[in-house]
Structure 1
Amino acid sequence: MGCLLALLAGFAPRIALALVWIFTNLVDRAFNGFVIPLLGLLLFPYATLFYVLAFNPILGGLSGWGWIFVVLGFIFDVGHWVGGGVTGRRRYARA
C-alpha cells in the first residue's frame, strides 16, 4: 500500500492527500480543524502531504528530517507553479 501511495503522490499529490485524509486519521492528527489542510490541498499539495506523513505526535511535531521533507515538498510545489507558467507563456507565444 505504501508503494502505491508513493507512486500516486508523484503523479497526483492532491488525490493522494485526499485519499490519506479520507481513509486514515493522519491529517486529523497533524492539523487541528480542516481549514489549513484544505488550503494546503489547494495551494501546496506536496508540502502538505509530506507534513502529514512526517508528523509524529509522540515527538510533538516534526523532527529534523521531517522538516527537510516538507521543504522538499515546498520546492516541488514552487517548481510545479513555475513550470506551468513557462509552459503557458510558450503556448501563447506560438499563437
Structure 2
Amino acid sequence: MRITRINTFMAAEGMGDQLRSALLTITPLLQTADGCASCRVVRNLERPDELLLVERWTSAAAQAASARHIPPEKIAELVPLLAGPPQGQFYRE
C-alpha cells in the first residue's frame, strides 16, 4: 500500500522564496531513500509563504527512515525561515 505524506510549511514573513529554495535542496535527498516514489514542493498561489512538501512512499516506516538522508545542517537552514513548526499528515492512496 502506498502512502502520501503532506507536510505544510509556513515561511516567516517574506521568506517564501528562501524556504522554497531550501526545501528544493532537500527533495533530491529524500528521493534517494528506499521506498520513496516521489517528492515535490508546491506553493500556495494565494498565500506564497505557505509551501507543501508532498511525499509518496511505500510505507510510513520508509518515510520515517528517510530522515537519516537529510543532514542536520540542512534542517538547521530551514529553522530561521519558518513562522512556526511544520505540520505533517499521512494519507492512504
Give the TM-score category using the shorter length.
under 0.3
The structure with the greater share of residues assigned to helix is: 1
Larger Rg: 1
The structure with the greater share of residues assigned to strand is: 2
Please, what TM-score do these two structures have when normalized by structure 1? Answer: 0.27
Please, what TM-score do these two structures have when normalized by structure 2? Answer: 0.28
Work out which structure has the larger RCO, using CA pairs closer than 8 Å and 6 or more positions apart in sequence: 2
